[in-house]
Each structure stands twice: as C-alpha cells, then as structure tokens.
Amino acid sequence: MRTVFKRIFFIPLISIGILLIALPYISGANFRSIFWELSVVISFTVILSFLLSWKTALNTVEPIRNLLRLTRKFPNPGPFTRNGYSYSEIENLTSSIREILGQAAHQYQNVRIEKELLGILLNNLNEGILCIDKFGSVEFTNDSLDPRLVVPGCAGTPFFRAIKNASLLDMFQTLIRDSGPSEGKSKPRSIEIECGSSFFQINCTPVIVEDEIKFYILIFRDMTSEYETRKAREQFFENAGHELKTPLTSIRGYTETIQERSDDHSTIKFAEAILRNTERMERLIEDLTTISAIDAKRFRYQSETIELDTFLPDIASLTQGMLRTKNQNLNFSYSKEKTFQADRILMEHLLLNLISNASRYSPEQTTIEISMSERGGSQTVIEVADRGPGIATKYREKIFERFFRIDNDRNRSIGGTGLGLSIVLEITRLHGGTVSVDDNPPGGSIFRVVLPVVRA
C-alpha cells in the first residue's frame, strides 16, 4: 500500500513544493505579496489530495491483499473478508479470480479423490506396480511388489538402488537406453524371471505424453501357480503317454498276429478296425507329447541353414507311407532361393502335420502341392494345397484351436486328432511367423505359412 500511496500522493506533492519554491524567484515582488494566501490554498489542496490519495490507495490495495490471501491459502482459502469495492474494474477482476479459484479448488479436490482411489486400487491389485520417472527416480510402488525383486518403500530413490534383480535391472537399463519418441523405440518390453521358487512375468511400458517419455510403468505378475499347473500338466502328458504306449504296442502286436494267422474274414475285418484305432491313439499320444513339449519350451529353437534339395526329399520319404494308402502324390516347387533359416526338426513337424491334414481330407489319387518361395526378400512363404472340401470363412481361424472340429462325425471317420493344426500354429509362432488358410481355386484349401527371413 505504501508504494501505491507514494505514487498517488507524494510524487504530485513534491512537484507542487518545487513549484512553490521556484515561483517567488521567477515572478519577482508581485508574487511575493500574495505568496501567503496562495500557500494557504495550496496547503488545503495538499491535505485534500492526501485524503483522496489515501482513500484511493486503500480501495486499490485492499482487494489485492485479499486476492493474495486467497491464492496463498489455496485450495482452502477460507472466508473472503470483503465483497464490495469502489471501482467496478477491481470488483469484476476480484469476482473472476474468485470464480477461477473456486473451480480450480473443485478440480483439485476431484484430482485428490481420484488419486486416493487410484492408490487404493493399485495397492489392492495382485500384480506389483513400479512407476519410475524419466529421470530414473522411483515415483510409486504398491504393496504387492515382491521384496525379493524391489526394495520395499523405495519411492524417491534411484531405480538402480530400488531394483534388486540383475536380469530386471539389465532389461530396464536397456529400455532407457533405447527409448525414444520414434517408432520402434518405445514399445513395451517383457521379461520372465525366476526368483527362488517363484516365477514372474514383468511388462515394462513407457508412458509418452506429447512425444516425450514421462514415466515407465513396470507390472509384475506372479506366474508361479501357472508354471506349477503347466508343469503338472506336462508331467501328466509324459506319464500318460509313456503308460499308454506300452499297452498300445501290445495291442498292435497281438492284433497283427491275429490278422496274419486268421483266415476268417470277419476276424480280419475286426483286426483291421483295431489297428486303425490303435494307430489313431498313437497319433493322438504323439501329438499331445509334441504340443506339450512346445508349450514347455523343451523344443529349443535352433536356427540353421536348411538346404531344400535335401530337406524336401526327406519330407517325401517320411510321408510316403501315409500317402501310399490313398495313392496320393507330392509335388514340390520352390523359387531360386534353395536355402532358408529355420529349426529343421520343428519345420519337419510343421510340414508333416500340414501334409497329413491335406492327405486326410483329399480324395484318393490326388496330388498335394507344396511350394516354397521368398517374398520381398524379407519373408519365406510355405504353401500346402489340398483338394479337400474346403473350409468355410467363419471357421478359418478356429481350425487352429486345439481339438476344434468343424464336423465331429466326419472327423471321427477320417481319424484326425484335432491337434495337428494347433501344432502348426505353435511352431509358426516360435519362428515369429503367421499361418492362414485360403481357398484353392481348383478346389480345396491352401494353408500358407509366412516366416520372417533370418540371414545366417
């Protein structure tokens, strides 16, 4: 208020004083005769100016003080001391600021409520949450974080002091080093780690606002129960397969003996039926064992250079037995690229299942077309075309599900296990590719496997 008062009153007063002192010297004797009368008038004017200046300063400064009091106490400003001012501009400004502060206080209260609700929600999640800002400082941790992975109550500490697991620390440091607003550098990353008897899957996602990374959110999911369930399932498949193979081998041996030594037509017919179902049981056990091994990652992916000139004849010899029963043939064709990078054992499983599926649904004395080509220098395309009844569009994604059957009666008569195409899908995924099915123009279906080209 003092500054405002000085500007309103003292500066004009000093100017008047200087003028009064100078006037006698400028105007001469005539002015000196009326100097005292003029001084009285000016003194009265000065006193009146003082009172008006004080009142003006008071009316100007008091609302500003109240506004400062409101802003300093935000978001709890308390009662406002005065609701009316002499100047309409100040009154309008005060009303606008009070309205803005009221809206901001309401929004601030809502944000606090949302923050409390979010904190309660995050603390009650089964998954652990770790939030790290762009500078590498821990912003938030919830109560579900395993203390073997992250130091409890580490908010405000650097990430390299908070994270205790070496593999997780390496992954996060790599993410920070490679992160950026450009595409391909800010994608979420995932890691699976083993800690004692527990297994965790950790997903790390950068939070990007206006092309700038603000935070990193790490979600810790305890996969121990799922791993134990998977392990129990794998052991069951292994034990069941081992226990079933022994009696099936005996059934096959006895049945073949009866078939060879019997002259009765009915007995031979029954023996053939027993052999067909025995073979089907053996295929089912083999498929279950294969898909269980893929799920358990016991098939370790080992990429190597596969020579088509030797690989395709091996496939033909392996499928010769199943094709001979229906007088079917294989026709191979491939582009100028005679090699590709993949896991040889897994690719044998993939092609054997596709050829077996094509043979099963194709009529007798037909040719199964197999082509391999390179597309755009970045993809290897494998196509297996059959002459079967074709697949309706609505079933083209479901047929790769385990045990899915379009027509149960027809599949039972043909003898499929319902696992062959799911094995194809899993092997394709292991290679980072995709599998699909389309119509074959001459009739039937074309199963297409697209794999990314891996240079040796």
Q: How far apart are CA 452 and CA 455, in angstroms?
A: 10
Length of the chain equals 456
* Predicted pLDDT of residue 448: 92
Q: Write out the two tokens for 93.
A: 């400004």
* Predicted pLDDT of residue 71: 76
pLDDT at 420 over 60: yes
* Predicted pLDDT of residue 141: 86
* Per-residue pLDDT reduced to its tens digit, 68-119: 777 777 766 555 555 555 566 677 777 787 788 778 878 888 888 887 887 7
* Predicted pLDDT of residue 297: 66
pLDDT at 124 over 80: no
pLDDT at 219 over 80: yes
Q: How far apart are CA 452 and CA 191, in angstroms?
A: 22
CB proximity list for 65: less than 8 A, separation 6 or greater = none
Q: How far apart are CA 332 and CA 350, in angstroms?
A: 16
* Per-residue pLDDT reduced to its tens digit, 329-380: 888 887 777 788 888 888 888 898 899 888 888 888 888 999 888 887 778 8
* Predicted pLDDT of residue 273: 84
* Per-residue pLDDT reduced to its tens digit, 3-55: 544 555 555 666 566 555 655 555 555 555 555 666 666 666 666 666 666 66
* Per-residue pLDDT reduced to its tens digit, 169-194: 888 888 777 765 444 455 677 888 88
Q: State whether residue 263 is helix, strand or coil.
A: coil
> Which residues on neighbouring strands pair with residue 334, listed in sequence order?
372
Q: How far apart are CA 189 and CA 217, in angstroms?
A: 11
> 13: closest CA among 39, 41, 49?
49
Q: Which amino acid is at 282?
A: E
Count CB-CB contacts under 10 A for residue 382: 23
* Predicted pLDDT of residue 181: 47
Calculate what percentage of the chain has a pLDDT beyond 70: 77
The mean per-residue pLDDT over the stretch 206-223 comes to 85
Q: How far apart are CA 409 and CA 413, in angstroms?
A: 6
* Predicted pLDDT of residue 79: 56
Q: Which amino acid is at 305?
A: T
> 220: closest CA among 149, 326, 293?
149
Calculate what percentage of the chain has a pLDDT beyond 90: 2
The mean per-residue pLDDT over the stretch 262-268 comes to 83
* Predicted pLDDT of residue 191: 83
* Predicted pLDDT of residue 184: 43
- Residue 167, exposed/middle/buried by CB under 10 A (0-12, 13-18, 19+)? middle
* Per-residue pLDDT reduced to its tens digit, 269-314: 888 888 878 877 887 787 777 777 777 666 667 788 888 888 888 8
Distances in whole angstroms, Cα of residue 416 to Cα of each of 36, 201, 437, 447: 127, 36, 18, 17
pLDDT at 445 over 50: yes
* Predicted pLDDT of residue 447: 92
CB proximity list for 80: less than 8 A, separation 6 or greater = 66, 70, 98
pLDDT at 410 over 60: no
* Predicted pLDDT of residue 126: 79
What DSSP letter does each residue of 169-234 carry, written as one string? HHHHHHHHHH--SSTTSS--EEEEEEETTEEEEEEEEEEEETTEEEEEEEEEEE-HHHHHHHHHHH
Count CB-CB contacts under 10 A for residue 337: 13
Using alpha carbons only, how large is the chain's radius of gyration in Å?
Answer: 43
* Predicted pLDDT of residue 21: 61
- Please give the model's pTM, rounded to 2 decimal places: 0.53
Q: How far apart are CA 26 and CA 398, in angstroms?
A: 110
